[in-house]
Structure 1
Amino acid sequence: MRIGEAARAAGVTAKAVRYYESLGLIAPGRLANGYRDYDEHDVRLLREVKALGRLGIPAERTRPFLECLAAGMPYADDCPASLAGYHEAIGELDRRIAELTARRAALAAHLRHAAYRGSSAPQPEGDPVHDPYQLPAGLPVPEDDGGADHLPGRALPPVELPGTAGESVRLDALGPGRTVLYVYPLTGRPDADLPQGWDAIPGARGCTTQACGFRDHHAELVAAGAARVFGLSTQETGYQREVVERLRLPFSMLSDPGLELARELGLPTFEAGGVPLFRRLTMIVRDGIVEHVFYPVFPPDRHAEQVLAWLRTTAGRDS
C-alpha cells in the first residue's frame, strides 16, 4: 500500500510515517518503480508507535518494543527490553513530577508570604489553592428572586453580635445616622479551599474583593454620609479577625454563625457544602430602620462604588 493508505490505516499522518522511517523504526519494501510499499506489519508498527506516544514514550524510544514484535512476540512489551523502556519512561515522569512539585511549592510559599505581608496573623502552613483577590471570568450573575423586597422600612431586631475589634454590636442600637451593613456568604483565604462548586453558585464568589472595595472607598463612604460600615457573615470572629488584619480593613466584621439575623429579618440564604450561608446583600440602615437594600449584588468587586453613588445621590436630596 502507498504511504497515504498506510497512514490512514494506522491513524497517523503521512508526515509522521516519514519521520518514523527516518528513525529506522519502519522499513517498507520498494516496488519496481521505486515507490515505497507498506504492508500490514508496517501498519502494526505505526500503530504501536502511536500508542506508546500516548503514554508519553517518544518515537525514538520505541525501538525495543518494535524489535520485540519483529522477533515474533505477540505483544510489543513481551520482551525484557520493553519492560526496561517502561521503567525508563516512569523514571523520567518521576523526575519531572518532582521538579514541578518543587517549583509549585516555591510558588505557594511566595504566595503565602505576599498574602500575609504586613499582617500580624501567623502565616498558615496550608497550600494556597485559589486566589481570593481576583474574580474569575464568566461568573454566573445572580437573579433578583424577591428575597429582599420586604426589608425596606423594617426595624433591625435586638440581635447582638461580636465584632472583630472586640466589641459587641447590638443591631437595633447602631446609633444615629446611616450605617452600611453588607452581608456576605464567606471570605476565602489563600491557604483554604472554597466549598466545592463555589464559582458556579450565582453571587457566591467575590467576598474578598468586595471587602477590599469597601476598604478602598471607606473614607469616601464616610464623607458621603455613612456613619459606620460593618461586614457580616456566618464565619467565626477569629476567622474574620485574620481577614481584617490581612486585608487591613478599617471597619469591623460581625459574626452571626447561627444566622440569627436571617431568622429575625427573613434574609435570603443558601447552602454550600452542607453549610447554610447568607446570600450577598447590603442594607443601608438609618436610625435603626432599613432605608435601602442592594440585592442582588453583582459584581461584588464594584459594589462599594454602587453604595457610594447611592449615598452621594441621597445626601444631595437630603440637603
Structure 2
Amino acid sequence: MHIGELARLAGVTVKAVRYYEQLGLITPVRESNGYRSFTDDHVRAVIEIRELGEIGISPLKAAPFLECLDLGHERGDECVSSLAVYQDTVAELDHMISALSVRRAALQHRLEHSAGRSFSEVPEAPAVLEVAAAPAPADYTALPEGLPVPADDGAASHLTGMALPALTLPTSGGEAVELAGLGAGRSVIYLYPLTGKPGVDLPEGWNAIPGARGCSTEACDFRDHFTLLRDAGVEHVFGLSSQTPQYQAEVVARLRLPFAMISDEEFALGAALKLPTFAAPGHDRLYARLTLVVTGGVIEHVFYPIFPPNTHAQQVLAWLEAHPLTEQDPQ
C-alpha cells in the first residue's frame, strides 16, 4: 500500500507518517518504480505510535514499543524497555502534579485569608503577618541580582546565511513543525536551555552559569510582545529546547504563552547547524541561549549571547523595526 492508504488505515495524517519515517520508526519498501510501499506491519506500528501519543508519550520515545512488536509480542508494552518508558513518563507527570499542587495550595491559602477579611476595614496585624509568613513556591519568572553576563565565544558566528535543515520536530501542542517549511516570511526561533517550574529544583549552581538563568522570564517577554512582533512582520514565534513536549506543554499553559514550544530531545537541530551547548549538573547537554531570525528558510540574523533574557523580546523587536522587509528582500 502507499502512504495515503497507510495514513487512512492508521487514523493519522500523511504528514505524521512522514515524520515517523524521518525518525526511523518505520521503513518502507522501495518498489521497482521508486515508490514507497507499506505493509500491514507498518499500519500496526503507526497505530501503536498514535495510541502512545494519545496518552502523552512522544513518538521520540516509541521505539521500544515498536521493537517489542517486532519481537512477536501481541502488545508493544510487553517488554521491559517499554515499561521503563511508562515509568519515566509517570515520573514526569508526578513532577507536574507536584508543582501544580504547590501552586494550588498557595492560591487556596491566599483565597481563604482574603475571603475572611473585610475590604472596608484595615486588616488586623495578625492576619497580615499570617499571610506574609505563608510558604510560597519559588518564582522563576523573576531574575535574581548579580547573574554573570555571558561572553561571546564565537560559537554562533557561522549561522547567518545558513538554511534551516529539513527537520520535523514535535511541539508542546502535540503537533509537528517542519523547520524547512516555515514559509517565505519571517520567523523567530529562540533557543533556551530549560525552564524551571514551581516546586522543582533547578540544577545545582544554575545561577552561576553565564546565560543559564532566565528562560521563564524570556518566554514571558516574548508573550508580552507577541502582538508587536506579529505587527513587525513575524509570522511565527517558537521557543525551542531539549525538554519533552509534555514538560513544555505545562510551561505554555502556566505562563499563558500564545505560541508553541519545539522539542528537540535528540539535539537534531544542534547537530545540523553546529549550535552551541553546555552541560549542567544532571544534564549532559543543554542548548545555549540564542535566537534565530529566519526569512524564507534562511537564517537572516542571530542574537548571541543574550543578556538579560527578560528583555530579549524587546531587543528582537527593535532589530525587526530597524530592518523591515521590503519587496526586494528574499521571500
Give the TM-score category using the shorter length: 0.5 to 0.7
Residue 266 (structure 1) aligns with: 274
* Post-superposition offset of 1:176: 1.7
Percent identity for Structure 1 against Structure 2? 56
Runs of 5+ in structure 1 lacking a partner? 1-104, 115-126
TM-score (norm 1): 0.60
Q: Give structure 1 regions of 4+ aligned residues with deviation exceeding 2 angstroms.
A: 105-109, 111-114, 127-130, 316-319
Alignment partner of 1:295 is 2:304: yes
Residue 280 (structure 1) aligns with: 289
Whichever residue aligns with residue 153 of structure 2, its letter is D
Alignment partner of 1:198 is 2:206: yes
**Retained in 1: the 8 A contact 2:102–2:198?**
no
* Post-superposition offset of 1:166: 2.0
Separation (CA, whole Å) in 2 of partners of 1:251 and 1:236: 16
Equivalent residue in structure 1 for 2:164, among 156, 159, 162: 156
Q: 1:126-179, CA deviations, whole angstroms, 9 ceiling, x for partnerless residues?
A: x96532011000000000000100000000111111012222101111112000
Whichever residue aligns with residue 199 of structure 2, its letter is D
* Post-superposition offset of 1:111: 6.2
Alignment partner of 1:109 is 2:109: no
Using a 3 Å threshold, how does the CA distance of structure 1 residues 190 and 264 change in structure 2: closer, same or farther? same
Separation (CA, whole Å) in 1 of partners of 2:291 and 2:280: 20
Separation (CA, whole Å) in 2 of partners of 1:107 and 1:170: 35
Separation (CA, whole Å) in 2 of partners of 1:251 and 1:231: 8
Count, aligned residues: 203
**Retained in 1: the 8 A contact 2:184–2:295?**
yes
Separation (CA, whole Å) in 2 of partners of 1:137 and 1:173: 40
Separation (CA, whole Å) in 2 of partners of 1:156 and 1:132: 31
Using a 3 Å threshold, how does the CA distance of structure 1 residues 106 and 186 change in structure 2: closer, same or farther? closer
Whichever residue aligns with residue 190 of structure 2, its letter is Y
Using a 3 Å threshold, how does the CA distance of structure 1 residues 113 and 205 change in structure 2: closer, same or farther? farther
Q: Secondary structure at the match of 1:315?
A: coil
Q: Secondary structure at the match of 2:323?
A: helix
**Which one has the largest radius of gyration?**
1
* Post-superposition offset of 1:234: 0.5
Equivalent residue in structure 2 for 1:229, among 218, 222, 237: 237
Alignment partner of 1:304 is 2:313: yes
**Retained in 1: the 8 A contact 2:172–2:245?**
yes
**Retained in 1: the 8 A contact 2:102–2:199?**
no
- Give the 5 Å matches for 1:21-170: 109-110=105-106, 130-170=138-178
Equivalent residue in structure 1 for 2:181, among 165, 173, 180: 173
Runs of 5+ in structure 2 lacking a partner? 1-100, 111-134
Using a 3 Å threshold, how does the CA distance of structure 1 residues 280 and 228 change in structure 2: closer, same or farther? same
Separation (CA, whole Å) in 2 of partners of 1:140 and 1:156: 31
Q: 1:287-317, CA deviations, whole angstroms, 9 ceiling, x for partnerless residues?
A: 1000000000000000000000001111177
Using a 3 Å threshold, how does the CA distance of structure 1 residues 154 and 106 change in structure 2: closer, same or farther? closer
Residue 51 (structure 1) aligns with: none
Separation (CA, whole Å) in 2 of partners of 1:107 and 1:173: 39
**Retained in 1: the 8 A contact 2:103–2:198?**
no
Using a 3 Å threshold, how does the CA distance of structure 1 residues 294 and 113 change in structure 2: closer, same or farther? farther
